[in-house]
A = this chain, B = another copy of it.
Amino acid sequence: MSHTAELIAVGTELLLGSIANTDAQMISQGLSELGINVYYHTVVGDNPERVRQAVDIARNRADILITTGGLGPTCDDLTKVAIAEAFGKKLVFHEPSAQRIRDRFAAMERPVTENNYQQAMLPEGCTVLDNDWGTAPGVAFEADGTHVIMLPGPPRECEMMFRHRAMPYLQALSDGVIASRTVKTFGIGESAAEALLRDLMNALHNPTLAPYAKPTGTELRITAHAPTREEALALIAPVEQQVKEILGDRVIGVDVNSLEEVCLALLKEKGLTLGTAESCTGGLIAKLITDLPGSSAVLKGGVVSYTDSVKAGVLGVPQDLLDQYGAVSPQVAEAMARGAKQVLGCDIAVSATGIAGPDSDDRGNPVGLVYLGLAYEDQCVVKEFHAGKVARERVRRMSAHTALDLVRRYLTGLL
């Protein structure tokens, strides 16, 4: 049976534009994985009357209602009260939830104020969704053919509660389980990936294959529905193999988050250390790697050589190379990488020098032209990269990712 869900976010801060409704995005992705249709999102303020109206409209056009926000003491558990009223449910005291609240406050060494116990008042007969990431418990129940799920609003809490509590509840509404695997790529756009995979996508029903454009590269999500997780994964495996064959070396991994994560894992596996020499990216490559816990095991350090004097003085780039070819040149990219490898004492060094914009340089190099170097052993490769005339932020991001991809390609023998 096919389900239709509607999301209602409760929070005046959304209507004032203080925050974007990222909860709705996250939940929509999950519902899409579960094969549940979403026709509407609604945002409403901290106003009982208008929450009630939004619920009444939603229950007439969807059989699954998921609310976010409006739980917890600061908003008087507004959503819970409005939903209970709309579905004619009494709120009753739930001792285990009260105990969890007591335990939580005890752990923080703070007294429980009386309004916190309001959070233990839950619709009679509901399924309590324990909240391990905050204080307000989530709630799920079925009434008059509508499934209602209430989740807290803060994005991380909402995501954990949705992934670990609401998704299993929703999965139980359908027979069988849904599993998915995501093939992550770099260097191929969504429409190009779609063109290469169109025949495969059209031929598939279970599993399905769908492309998602992400700032860091296109993702291909393969989702299967089967009686057990093992059977679902068995359906996915051959499709994953086909996708990998079609997209070739543009595939950076499966169920991985980022290029830097892939690089970090490869460096650890091979016991190699990395260093960076950055001009146009200005520290971004090092920043991306050090975003990851455990990066200190592989990143020796980096030099942001934003001026010629630092390129020459710290990295040892010969002044005559800078004079003859300019800072944005393959010669300087190579000297930066080789210099960083030596100065930082690392096994591999990656460099970036280019024009991030908005203006081109004295030599008339165009915005978006970037040279990337990779020094290893006594070798160095240089790649010329054209980001195109895009925003500064985008030139820098694309350059940093292309530099990381160079590291990945070296470490996987693709260089």
Contact = CB atoms under 8 A, between A and B. Distances in A.
A406 interface: no
A21 B22 CA distance: 8
Contact of A39 (B30, B50, B57, B299): B50
Interface string A22-48: 101111111110000011111111010
A157 to B, nearest CB: 13
Nearest to A275: B310
Nearest to A344: B310
Interface stretch (A97-105, A163-171, A228-236, A301-309): A301-309
A296 interface: yes
Contact of A17 (B14, B26, B42, B306): B26
Contact of A293 (B291, B295, B307, B357): B357
Given A14-B28, A42-B43, A278-B283, 16 more contacts: A16-B28, A18-B29, A18-B212, A19-B25, A20-B25, A39-B47, A39-B50, A40-B43, A276-B304, A295-B306, A300-B307, A300-B309, A302-B304, A302-B306, A303-B303, A310-B344
A243 interface: no
Contact of A43 (B41, B45, B57, B282): B41
Interface string A286-328: 1101110101100111111111011001100000000000000
A386 interface: no
A24 B41 CA distance: 12
Given A212-B18, A283-B286, A304-B301, A42 B45 contact: no
| Copies of this protein, total | 2
Interface string A352-383: 00001111000000000000000000000000
Contacts of A47: 39
Interface of A: 14-22, 24-32, 38-45, 47, 50, 54, 57, 212-213, 276, 278, 281-287, 289-291, 293, 295-296, 299-307, 309-310, 313-314, 343-345, 356-359, 392-393, 396
